[in-house]
Every structure is written in C-alpha cells, then in structure tokens.
Amino acid sequence: AARNDLPVIRALLNAGVKPDTHAAGETTPLLVAIGATRSDVALALLAAGADSEATDAQGHTPLMLACAAGQAALVESLLARHARIDAEDHGGRSALWYAAAAGSRATVALLLANGATQEKGDARGLTVLHAAAAQAGADVLEPLLAAGARMNRRSAAGDTPLMIAAASGHAEVVEALLAHAPELDVQNSGGDTALMAASRGGHRAVCHMLLAAGANKALRNGAGVSAGDIASARGFDSIAKEIGGKS
C-alpha cells in the first residue's frame, strides 16, 4: 500500500486481505493513499470497506486529508459514507478548516451543503475564515460568508481574518473582506490593527486599500507606535509617507 500500486492493491483485496491491514504504529492504507493524493487507490479501498474514520498520529481523518488536498470527488465519496464532518484533529481543526486553508471552493461548498459548522476555532482560536485569509483563499470567502461566517471573529491573540490577510499581504482577500464592511480598527492583544500589520510587512497595496476604506492611521499599539512609525522603522518609506510616520 505504501507504493500506492492500484493493480497490486486490487489483487490483494481480491485475495481477501482486509483494506485496513497495516503494521503497528503505522497509518492505514487509506490514509496513506489520501496523503499521496491517490484518490483512485483511496476509492478502491473505500469500496472494499476501509475504515473512513481511522486517524493518524495527529488525529487527521481521511476526510480532513482529502479536504487539505482539495480532492473533491474523494470528499464526496467519504461524505456519502457518512464520514464525521465536524470531527477535529488534535489541534482542533475540522475538515472544513482544511478545505478553507487549501482554498478549494468546490470542497468548501460540498462540506457546507452537508451541514459543516464553521464558527468553532482551532486551538489558537482560528476559524475557517481565518484559515482562508491566511492562505490567500479569496475564492472560498464568498461561500463561507454566505453561510454565516463572522468576519470580525477574533482569534485567541485577538486577530480578525482581515488582520491575518493584511499581515500576509493577501490583497485579493483584503479586497473581498472590505466589500463586506468589516471592523477596520480592531486591535489585537498587542494593540496592532490591520493597517499596522500590513505596514509591518511592507504591503503597500494592502495599506492603500485599508486607508481608502477609512482605517484610522493615528492609532497606536501597545508599544506606543503607529502604523506609519512601524513602516518608517522598517524602511518602507513609500508606505510611511502615505500613512505619515516618524521622519
């Protein structure tokens, strides 16, 4: 199974070898196949009765791994076999969280249509919308927001999806979120705003978008510095000039 040789696996299954056969301490053939993005092998194992709820050492289920790889056909097959849609791994992340992080609109749509919940955050309080924002998943924002995702939800560190996207410089995600009028001047546990996060990373286009939307450039974080000060200190002169920072 480690080689994911479909003819060999089919021959073994036809000979009566159980689809979940694996050595102690190793993952099941199904998890191995999905991790290798061999949906053909995975589907053959499922058809032979492989356990769709088996987990690896991190608590990942077959559904989570299929979502992380954007394998929509396999996700559909697992859901048809009643895979637990809201199961969580050891980090508190669900299949929908992984689908959002992968930026797979088709997979996200499948999960939402089958009742996946999205508001529970992972161990760091990051929701599926945070996951999409962190990975430039602009394509999946609309279905998530349409299904009720709270764009101003804060992580354990106080970050909103907008702040995550701004810090990463994901202009398309920031633009998509701004179209839904998020709170612009939320400050996280360190006092940073989305504008400060963008200026720290030198993301000029994102800074421009936030300023145009009305972000408050006069706010200061816990260290007593503004977005303009941050840009100046990091040598991002064009950003500092637009925002206004220390000379």
Which amino acid would we find at residue 106? A
The answer to whether residue 174 scores a pLDDT higher than 70 is yes
Q: What is the pLDDT of residues 113-148, one digit of tens each?
A: 999 988 888 999 999 999 999 987 788 999 999 998
* Chain mean pLDDT for the chain: 92
Task: Say if residues 102 and 71 touch (Cβ distance below 8 Å).
Answer: no
Three-class DSSP labels, 142-208 = HHHHHCCCCCCCCCCCCCCHHHHHHHHCCHHHHHHHHCCCCCCCCCCCCCCCHHHHHHHCCCHHHHH
pLDDT at site 13: 85
Task: Say if residues 56 and 85 touch (Cβ distance below 8 Å).
Answer: no
The predicted model gives 152-180 an average pLDDT of 95
Q: What is the pLDDT of residues 41-93, one digit of tens each?
A: 999 999 999 999 999 999 999 999 999 999 999 999 999 999 999 999 999 99
70 in the Ramachandran plot: left (φ > 0), alpha (ψ -120 to 50) or beta? left
pLDDT at site 90: 96
> Which pLDDT band, with edges at 50, 70 and 90, does 165 fall under?
very high
pLDDT at site 190: 96
The answer to whether residue 246 scores a pLDDT higher than 60 is no
The answer to whether residue 233 scores a pLDDT higher than 60 is yes
Tokens of 42: 């995975």
Q: What is the pLDDT of residues 180-223, one digit of tens each?
A: 999 999 999 999 999 999 999 999 999 999 999 999 999 999 99
Which amino acid would we find at residue 75? V
> Which pLDDT band, with edges at 50, 70 and 90, does 21 fall under?
confident
By the 10 Å C-beta count (0-12 exposed, 13-18 middle, 19+ buried), 87 is classed as middle
By the 10 Å C-beta count (0-12 exposed, 13-18 middle, 19+ buried), 130 is classed as buried
Nearest Cα to Cα of residue 58 among 92, 32, 82: 92
Tokens of 211: 């300023």
Nearest Cα to Cα of residue 17 among 42, 40, 49, 39: 49
Q: Which residues contact 91 (CB under 8 A, 6 or more apart)?
A: 58, 59, 122, 123
Task: Say if residues 69 and 95 touch (Cβ distance below 8 Å).
Answer: no
pLDDT at site 6: 85
Q: What element of type H or E holds 210? A: helix 204-213
Higher pLDDT, 162 or 138: 162
The answer to whether residue 1 scores a pLDDT higher than 70 is no
